[in-house]
Amino acid sequence: MVDLINAMKISSTGLAAHRTKMNVIAGNLANVDTTRTAEGGPYIRRMVVLKGKDLDKFKSALQKNAHEDKKPFIEMHPIEFGSKIKDYKATGVEVAKIIKSQEDFRLVYNPAHPDADPVTGYVAMPNVDHLTEVADMIVEV
């Protein structure tokens, strides 16, 4: 039963991380036409970086149980419930950080726009692509 609960905890960390990614994608889509932000300039696309939680514990559990590979298959994989790896509690994934994209802004010719350059008539638009964001959202669902 402990393994089932542990598996559900791992799954919940993944769901929480993907919920964060979906919220960031929704924010990107909501600001696709924002040319003026509080920081000045157009909106900058955000992206979520994920990382495994407590990977050192996982590595040490693997190293402790590396000798298992030298046993016959039936000894390594007996038909039983539960984990053979002792002293390991899987922890899942977490959001490491939310970063801003380094891509250049899109320049759109629109001299009537209030944020257009008075000389050239170009407006710096956010570096958010509808298609990319929708595809990322589909992957997250």
Q: Looking at residues 113-135, what average pLDDT do you find?
A: 95
CA distances 26 to 10, 81, 104, 109, 123, Å, are 25, 41, 20, 26, 23
Q: Is the pLDDT of residue 87 over 60?
A: no
* Interatomic CA distance for residues 121 and 84, integer angstroms: 67
Nearest to 96, CA basis, from 21, 23, 43: 21
Q: Looking at residues 53-67, what average pLDDT do you find?
A: 69
pLDDT of residue 10: 86
pLDDT of residue 75: 59
Q: Is the pLDDT of residue 84 over 90?
A: no
Q: At what angle do helices 2-30 and 130-140 cross, to 10 degrees?
A: 160
Q: Is the pLDDT of residue 79 over 60?
A: no
Q: Is the pLDDT of residue 71 over 70?
A: no
* Interatomic CA distance for residues 41 and 27, integer angstroms: 17
CA distances 64 to 58, 68, 86, Å, are 10, 9, 9
CA distances 108 to 50, 104, 115, 125, 126, Å, are 33, 12, 11, 7, 10
Place of tokens 């000798």: 67
- Domain map (residue ranges) of the chain: 2-53+91-140
Q: Looking at residues 78-97, what average pLDDT do you find?
A: 67
* Interatomic CA distance for residues 80 and 98, integer angstroms: 42
113 vs 60, residue with greater confidence: 113
